[in-house]
Chains A and B, each alone.
Chain A
Amino acid sequence: MPSLGSIRRSFAPWNDAAAKPYIAFENVTKKFGDFTAVDKLSLAIYEREFFALLGASGCGKSTLLRMLAGFEEPSAGRILLDGQDLAGIPPYRRPVNMMFQSYALFPHMTVEQNIAFGLKQDRMPKAEIAERVASMLKLVRLGEFARRKPHQLSGGQRQRVALARSLAKRPKVLLLDEPLGALDKKLREETQFELMDLQHELGLTFIVVTHDQEEAMTMADRIAIMDKGEVMQVATPADIYEAPATRFVADFVGTVNLFEGKVADMSGDAGRILGADGFGLRVDNLAGAKNGARAWFAVRPEKIAISAVKPADEGLNAIEGEVWDIAYLGDMTIYHVRLEDGRIVRTSSVNSRRASDEQLTWHDRAWISFRPDAGIVLTR
């Protein structure tokens, strides 16, 4: 059997011009009174995709899901599912199911009855319901808890009941609103992998809402970064991290150092970004930029090296500063280096050897250095 990773890598319908999106938001706006929760948003999601909506709390992620589930109607724009406009179709007739942030388990029903609820609404024969419920219970490993009521379960068990209930009807699309929010860290990490396996096994389309970037990066095929009701960027986790489209995205996902300046000395894609202090960063991915334009060079901490002496390689960007803060995390060490003009640059280095001989300590002079292609040039 091929590994999950290799299948994942070959799965990229968004790059295929012939592929039709399974779910399409077209210029969707949602207003609550004067407040715009979702603003002219367009998104295309493909069949069998594991799609994550990532954004700060209050940016409209839940509202987007609720419009897809049918609990809210868009104020403007259309939502299409498999080519069909969903406008006017009530939630109980949509082929999508949702796992609620609060789980929303029915307190007066047992685990079994909770899972069977949706199947009963479809008038499925009793024997089939029993069979399906048993298989769902097995899937989420809750067989022995079938007769319990929700208040007799722990948080993790409740989460699994909610998942089983929303999967029982085999919906075409499963919407998950912060599904792991209430779990502790260890359980959350385990469950992330379980969800990925499950999604792959059942061949469903998952749309998961989260405000936890690690969670989104772990699980999703693609991530949409949202801010104030708008989508800032949609891309694979690697592209979001390595090729953010804007400063907002770069800053939102992971940590980033931004060097601001004006584009100068362009020749081909290479050139410089001239800072206010007159220091010129050598960069070689200026495609699309213009001489004199304002730009930011965004470099991730792990792509910056730190050393006590200036590196010999003249092709590197090297800046001198002072070690301002050190955080030793075991597997890696984070340095904050203060430059002449007071800016703080963050670097992180993996501690691949035990107790390195070249120890930098507080207030040492140090050089930070990075290659011209270590970062990305942002103009927004």
Chain B
Amino acid sequence: MNGRKWSRFNIVSVTLGFAFLYLPIVLLVIYSFNASRLVTVWAGFSTKWYVALLTDTAMQNAAWVTLRVALISASVATVLGTMAAIALVRYTRFRGRLLFSAMIYAPLVMPDVIIGLSLLLLFVAVGLDRGFFTIVLAHITFSMCFVAVVVQSRLLTFDRSLEEAAMDLGAPPVKTFFLITLPIIMPAVVSGWMLAFTLSLDDLVVASFASGPGATTLPMKIYSQVRLGVTPEINAVCTILIAIVTTGVVIASIVNKRREVRRLRDEQAARRG
């Protein structure tokens, strides 16, 4: 760190902070390999809970539902959120813009319970059968706001003269959007999609309100099982989830880092002529 020595205070606070964050996760991973059924008693290494998962169709179904919900809702939310962001940044003078932008931000601060409850009321009122479809709808509703915010902040720094140049060269507005604007803001759109995807994977509260008897997501399944007591099988499921998420994050950051390094190198080369 700039050649400066770490003070003792810094070392202690960083250690404590990381311990607080990761100790529970480490424990969870360790106990998922516990041979004993008792969660807190270590009885030797075993992978039998992972084997057990292979035959647990209820758990597998829940995982499958979660994955599909997340994929569909993240994709739809990305399209809608990007459109909302464009409307907010580009059309600064339409009627009701203030209300619209306030409404975009509201779900970010609204407690999940309220979102879930209000959606439930809506679904009941319009007579929609609750199940897979309503969970997807609910997730689209709240994750699209996050996408809108991410894409909006990218659009604010977007150089409009690029679009003008494209139009000047003969591209009509829609074509300009797909050939110029979208490719350039794509990293933000992808971030928005990943955010929406993780939000959907995570969600327990809204899904519980919006789902019906037919559809159970993985968080709902885990939660309902834990109420009967934590089992090593649940630990195993969670460990797999952690592994997937970690892999995703690591890959994303490596890709980003690579791109950044290449860009810096190119720019230096360009400056040298």
Contacts and interface: CB of A to CB of B under 8 A. Distances in A.
B167 A92 contact: yes
Contacts of B169: 92, 97, 117-118, 121, 165-166, 169
Contacts of A70: 167-168
Interface in A103-121: 104-108, 117-118, 121
B183 A91 contact: no
Interface in B147-199: 159, 161-162, 164-172, 175, 179-180, 183-184
B266 A100 contact: no
- Which residue among B165, B171, B269, B271 has the maximum number of chain A CB atoms within 10 Å of its CB? B165
Contacts of B162: 104, 106-107
Contacts of A121: 169-171, 175
Contacts, number: 76
B184 A151 contact: no
A92 B172 contact: yes
B165 A106 contact: yes
Contacts of B273: 154
B263 interface: yes
Interface string A47-74: 0000000000000000000000111000
A169 B263 contact: no
- Chain B binding site: helix, strand, loop or mixed by DSSP? helix
A40 interface: no
A104 B164 contact: yes
Contacts of A102: 159, 161
B129 interface: no
Contacts of B270: 151-154, 157
Contacts of B164: 69, 71, 91, 98, 100, 104
B56 interface: no
A122 interface: yes
A149 interface: yes
- Which residue among A96, A97, A106 has the maximum number of chain B CB atoms within 10 Å of its CB? A106
A104 to B, nearest CB: 4
B267 interface: yes
Contacts of A149: 266
Contacts of A122: 170
A90 interface: yes
B36 to A, nearest CB: 56
Given A149-B266, A154-B270, A154-B273, A106 B167 contact: no
A6 B103 CA distance: 68
Interface string A70-92: 11000000000000000000111
A64 B273 CA distance: 35
B33 to A, nearest CB: 46
Interface residues of B, number: 24
A174 B100 CA distance: 41
Nearest to B172: A92
Nearest to B169: A118
A106 B166 contact: yes
A71 B162 CA distance: 12
A92 B165 contact: no
A151 B266 contact: yes
Interface in B175-230: 175, 179-180, 183-184
B166 A117 contact: yes
A162 B267 CA distance: 18
Contact of A154 (B175, B263, B271): B271
B252 to A, nearest CB: 19
Contact of B167 (A91, A107, A157): A91
A344 B214 CA distance: 94
B183 A108 contact: yes
B168 A97 contact: yes
B184 A108 contact: yes
Given A151-B267, A152-B269, A154-B273, A100 B170 contact: no
B168 A92 contact: yes
A133 B238 CA distance: 56
Contact of B168 (A69, A107, A153, A157): A69
B165 A90 contact: no
A70 B166 CA distance: 13
A151 B172 contact: no
Contacts of B184: 106-108
Interface of A: 69-71, 90-93, 96-98, 100-102, 104-108, 117-118, 121-122, 149, 151-154, 157, 165-166, 169
29 contacts: A70-B167, A71-B167, A90-B172, A91-B164, A91-B167, A92-B167, A92-B169, A92-B172, A98-B164, A98-B165, A100-B164, A101-B161, A102-B159, A104-B161, A104-B162, A121-B171, A151-B266, A151-B267, A152-B266, A152-B267, A152-B269, A152-B270, A154-B270, A154-B271, A165-B169, A166-B168, A166-B169, A169-B169, A169-B170
4 nearest CB pairs, A to B: A118-B169, A121-B170, A104-B165, A104-B161
